[in-house]
């Protein structure tokens, strides 16, 4: 087997037998792979297999069964993310979401780049809730949901006071509200921001600023979209939901 070098992000690791570990890595060029680490506690790899660590790995890949890590260099731990339980819980959720969105062994360098860039911006201190929303909106396509937050599904008019129709999987302008009497009524800024999030460039992210009340409305609407179109229950998402319940109290005390 030939040794290949590739950039990778640790998704998770788990114990295997006595002192061995299985490590799931999202690699840039070979997709998600499971690696076997023998005698993990004594291995030179022990520090580089923690979740959210990024490095260049020298690996031996098996298409069937486990792969092996020979060595690594240029490891990068997201220090700021790891030091704040709020940022860490959101970053953990994004990684779990990316894990759920793609199947093993299939390269997705675009998603890899997007995930790594989002984590880097979180680590730089940009708004982690908004970065999470942007990631959630852009990764919807990977789950098979192609939603348009730009125009009315019937007349394609833009810039209206839109509501959202689950029945038609899209926006309704006031002229077409009556097509779906069970439509979700929205704060006009919700579809406006989601439309922006869908096509946002990384350079623009530094200038996006959203008030807490609007963040709550976005969170609520995106949760509805995920319940309807994605339907996965991630432990890391439940953790965020619980965190937000007592998080404000904790922040005030600290
Ligand atoms: Zn219309």
Check whether residue 61 and residue 93 sit in a common domain: no
pLDDT exceeds cutoff 80 at 49: yes
Of 52, 77, 102, the position where a domain reaches its end is: 77
In-domain check, residue 158: no
- What pLDDT digit, counting tens, does each position of 125-171 carry? 999 999 999 999 999 999 999 999 999 999 999 999 999 999 999 99
pLDDT exceeds cutoff 90 at 56: yes
In-domain check, residue 176: no
187-190 long-range contacts (CB < 8 A, ≥24 apart) are 187/214, 187/217, 188/161, 188/162, 189/214, 189/217, 190/214, 190/217, 190/218, 190/221
Distance, CA 157 to ligand 1 centroid (Å)?
A: 6
- What pLDDT digit, counting tens, does each position of 176-197 carry? 999 999 999 999 999 999 999 9
Of 60, 77, 94, the position where a domain reaches its end is: 77
Check whether residue 205 and residue 243 sit in a common domain: yes
For the chain, the domain total comes to 2
Give the domain extent around 106: 81-148+193-254
Q: What's residue 252's pLDDT?
A: 56
Average pLDDT taken over every residue of the chain: 93
Check whether residue 103 and residue 69 sit in a common domain: no
In-domain check, residue 33: yes
Of 37, 52, 77, the position where a domain reaches its end is: 77
The model's pTM: 0.92
pLDDT exceeds cutoff 90 at 205: no
Q: What's residue 64's pLDDT?
A: 84
Distance, CA 11 to ligand 1 centroid (Å)?
A: 43
In-domain check, residue 122: yes
Q: What's residue 203's pLDDT?
A: 74
- What pLDDT digit, counting tens, does each position of 15-35 carry? 998 899 999 999 999 999 999
Distance, CA 28 to ligand 1 centroid (Å)?
A: 42
Q: What's residue 59's pLDDT?
A: 97
Distance, CA 165 to ligand 1 centroid (Å)?
A: 12
Task: Identify the CATH number of the domain in which residue 43 sits.
Answer: 2.40.50.140
Distance, CA 7 to ligand 1 centroid (Å)?
A: 46
Q: What's residue 249's pLDDT?
A: 65
Check whether residue 70 and residue 126 sit in a common domain: no
Q: What's residue 207's pLDDT?
A: 78
Check whether residue 31 and residue 91 sit in a common domain: no
In-domain check, residue 92: yes
Check whether residue 120 and residue 221 sit in a common domain: yes
Check whether residue 27 and residue 55 sit in a common domain: yes
Q: What's residue 254's pLDDT?
A: 44
Check whether residue 64 and residue 110 sit in a common domain: no
Distance, CA 81 to ligand 1 centroid (Å)?
A: 43
Check whether residue 134 and residue 26 sit in a common domain: no
């Amino acid at each position: 087997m030939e040794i290949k070098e590739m950039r990778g992000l640790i998704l998770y690791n788990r114990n295997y037998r006595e002192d061995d570990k299985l490590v799931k890595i999202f690699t840039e060029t070979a997709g998600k792979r499971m690696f076997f680490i023998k005698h993990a506690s004594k291995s030179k790899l022990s520090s580089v297999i923690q979740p959210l660590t990024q490095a260049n790995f020298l690996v031996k890949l098996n298409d069937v069964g486990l792969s092996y890590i020979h060595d690594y260099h240029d490891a990068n731990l997201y220090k700021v993310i790891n030091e704040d339980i709020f940022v860490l819980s959101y970053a953990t959720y994004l990684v779990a979401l990316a894990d759920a969105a793609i199947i093993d062994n299939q390269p997705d360098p675009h998603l890899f780049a997007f995930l790594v860039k989002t984590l880097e911006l979180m680590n730089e201190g940009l708004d982690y809730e908004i970065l999470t929303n942007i990631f959630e909106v852009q990764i919807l396509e990977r789950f098979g949901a192609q939603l348009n937050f730009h125009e009315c599904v019937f007349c394609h008019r833009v810039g209206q006071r839109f509501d959202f129709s689950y029945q038609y999987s899209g926006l309704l302008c006031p002229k077409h509200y009556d097509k779906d009497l069970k439509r979700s009524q929205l704060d006009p800024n919700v579809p406006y921001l989601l439309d922006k999030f869908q096509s946002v460039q990384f350079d623009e992210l530094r200038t996006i600023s959203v008030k807490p009340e609007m963040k709550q409305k976005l969170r609520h609407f995106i949760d509805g979209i995920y319940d309807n179109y994605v339907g996965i229950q991630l432990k890391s998402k439940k953790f965020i939901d619980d965190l937000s319940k007592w998080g404000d109290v904790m922040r005030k005390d600290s």
